[in-house]
Amino acid sequence: MTTRAAKYLRISSDREGLELGITRQDEDLDQLAAQRNLTYVAEFFDNDTGASTRSTKPRPDYKQMLSDAKEGKFEVIAAYTTSRLTRRPREHEDLIDLAEKYGIRFEYVRSPSFDLTTAQGRRIARTLAAQDAGESEEISERVTRAGLDRARKGLNHGGRRCFGYETDGLRLIPAEAAEVKHIFTKFLAGKSLGWIVRDLHARGVQTVTGSPWVTNTVRGLLMRPRYAGLSEYRGDVVGEGQWPAIVSEQVYQAARSLVSDPKRRTSTGNRAAYLLSGIATCAVCGGPITSTGVGGSRKRPLYRCRAGYCVGVVREWADQYTTEEIVGRLSRPDADELLVDHHAPDFNALAGEERALREILDGAAVDYADKLITRSQLRIITERTRAKLEEVARLQQHTSRAPALARLVGAKDVRAEWESEDFGLDGRRMAVQALVTVRLHPGGSGRHGFDPSKVEIVWKD
C-alpha cells in the first residue's frame, strides 16, 4: 500500500536554485516516490522566490501546503533538500509541529530523512536548519559586498534597463536621453509632474517596459543620481559612474530638492492660481499673502494677509507691477548676469565630501568588526559623521535659479516668452521666486489708484 504525499518544488536565484532546475527536481522526486512507495496526491511550486532568513517574498504554495497537511490531505511532504523547503529556523519549528501534532513525515532526495517525532530527529533537523540559515546569510553578504564594490567602481548594477541608457547601462540612447533632459528642464521650469506625464503621453513616449508614464515614474526619474553620472547603492551615492551623465549634478540636485520638498504642492485642486499667492509676504506681520475677496471702489480682487488682514492690495495691479519689473530686468543686455547664483554651493566639492564621509563610516564598521575600536568609539564616529552628512545633504538641496530663467534670459522677446502658454503660470512663479522677494504694504486697495510703494520688490543676489 502506498502513502499519500505532496511534492514541493522551488526555484530561486541562489546558486543551488540556478543549478537545480525544476525539471531535475521533478524527475528526482518521482524516483524518490518509486523508491519510498509514495503516491503524489498534490504538487506545490513556488517560482523565483527565496526561502532565506532575509527573504520577504511570499511563498503562496508553501503556505497552502502546510494548511493542506494540517487538514490531513497527505501524510508525507517530499522535497529535493531541506533548504528547498526552507532556510528559516523558525519555519523548521513549524515543520516539527506538523510532525508532532499531525504525523507528517518528510522525505528528501539529497538530504537525510529523519523522524521529527523523536528528540534525535529534531536535533538533526535544527542543526541542518542552522547550517542552511548560515549559508544563506553568507550568500547574502557576498552578494551585498559584490554589489557595493561594483557601485563604488561606477559599474552598472544590472537589472532592468534604465530609461535613457542601453542594456549595458554604459551607453546612451540619444532619443531617450533627450527625453530625460526634457523632463528635467520642464520640471525645473515650473511644470507639474502631471503636466509632464500628459506631455509624454501626447507625444507617444513610452517607458522601458512599454507601460504608460505615471507621476510616480517621473518622480523616480527625477530622483535618480544615475542621470547626473553618479553611482548609488541602496539609496546612497557611493561614487562616480562609468556612464555619461545626461544632466549636470547641479540640475539633478535642484530637481531632487524640489521634488522632495514637503512644502511643494502636488494636488491640482489647491495649487496657486495667481502670480504672487503664497510667494509675497506681509510687510507688517511677515505672514503669507493669499488672493481673496474684493475691495476698493471698483470691487477688484485683492491680495490679503492670510494671518491678520494687515494689508489689501489690488491683485491685478500687484501682478502687473511685478511682471513689468521682472520682464524689464530680463530684457536688459546684462540679463545673463542673473543666471549667476552667488549663494550656490560647490556641488563637486560637496559630492567629494559626501563620499569621504561615507568611507569613514565604512572604515569604522570594518575597524569595529576587526576589534580595532570599541563599541563606544564606533558610536561616536557614527554620530559625528552622520551629523556632517546631514549638513552636506542640506547644502546639496540648494535649488539653482538657472533652470527657471534659462528660457527667459537671451530670448528675442522676453515678454512673449513670459506670457506664452507653454511657459505658464508655474514658470512665471518659479522665476519670481528665483529673482526677487516681494512684500506688500498696507494700502493699495484701489481707492486712490495704484501706488507702487505698496509693492516692495527686493532683488536677490
Output 191 or 439, whichever has higher pLDDT: 439
Cα–Cα distance for residue pair 81/24, rounded to 1 Å: 13
8 Å CB contact between 251 and 188: yes
| 205 or 23, which is more confident | 205
Residues of the chain with pLDDT > 70: what percent?
A: 80
What residues pair up with 108 in beta bridges, in sequence order? Answer: 79
- How high is the pLDDT of residue 265? 47
Q: CB of 304 within 8 A of CB of 312?
A: yes
Q: Give the per-residue pLDDT at 400.
A: 58
DSSP 193-219: HHHHHHHHHHTT---TTSPPP-HHHHH
- Cell numbers for 348: 563637486
pLDDT for 148: 65
Q: Which helix (H) or strand (E) holds 240?
A: strand 236-240
Is the pLDDT score of 53 beyond 60?
no
Q: What is the pLDDT of residues 106-128, one digit of tens each?
A: 999 988 777 787 777 777 777 77
Residue 268, pLDDT > 50, answer no
Return the residue matching grid coordinates 542552522.
130
pTM: 0.47
Find the largest Cα–Cα distance for the chain.
107
User: Which grid cell is 238?
Assistant: 557611493
Give residue 269's pLDDT band: very low, low, confident or very high (50, 70, 90). very low
Taking Cα atoms as reference points, which of 300, 291, 254 lies closest to residue 270?
Answer: 291
Start-to-end C-alpha separation, the chain: 91
What top-level class would CATH report for the domain 3-140?
alpha beta
Q: How much is the pLDDT for 177?
A: 94
Span 56-95, pLDDT tens digits: 567 889 999 999 999 999 999 999 888 788 777 778 788 8
Domain boundaries, the chain: 3-140, 174-259, 281-342+404-459, 347-396
Residues 6+ apart with CB under 8 A from 385: 357, 360, 361, 364
At residue 181, the 3 state secondary structure works out as helix
Superfamily (CATH H level) for 174-259: Putative Large Serine Recombinase; Chain B, Domain 2 (3.90.1750.20)
Tens digit of pLDDT for each residue in 249-267? 878 887 887 787 655 544 4
Instruction: Over range 210-217, report the average pLDDT.
Output: 89
Render pLDDT for 361-389 as a digit per residue (tens, 0 to 9).
888 888 888 888 888 888 899 889 888 88
Q: Is the pLDDT of residue 218 over 90?
A: yes
Task: Compare 245 and 408 and report the one with higher pLDDT.
Answer: 245
Q: Which amino acid is at 27?
A: E
Determine the pLDDT at residue 52. Answer: 46
Nearest to 135 by CA among 49, 24, 16, 45: 16
pLDDT tens readout for residues 155-201: 776 678 899 999 888 899 999 999 999 999 888 777 888 889 999 99
Alpha-carbon gap, residue 155 to 192, rounded angstroms: 33
C-alpha cell at 23: 525539471
pLDDT tens-digit readout, 302-312:
898 877 678 88
pLDDT at 338 over 90: no
> What is the average pLDDT value for the chain, to the nearest integer?
81
Residue 136 pLDDT? 60
Closest by CA position to 165, among listed 217, 203, 221: 221
pLDDT bin (cut points 50, 70, 90) of residue 438 is very high
**What mean pLDDT is predicted for residues 226-247?**
84
Tell me how far apart the alpha carbons of residues 221 and 216 are, in angstroms, rounded to a whole number. 9
Q: What is the pLDDT of residue 48?
A: 54
Q: How high is the pLDDT of residue 41? A: 94
Burial of 163 (0-12, 13-18, 19+ CB in 10 A): buried
How many other C-beta atoms can be found within 10 angstroms of the C-beta atom of residue 151? Answer: 20
Q: What is the mean pLDDT of residues 337-357?
A: 71
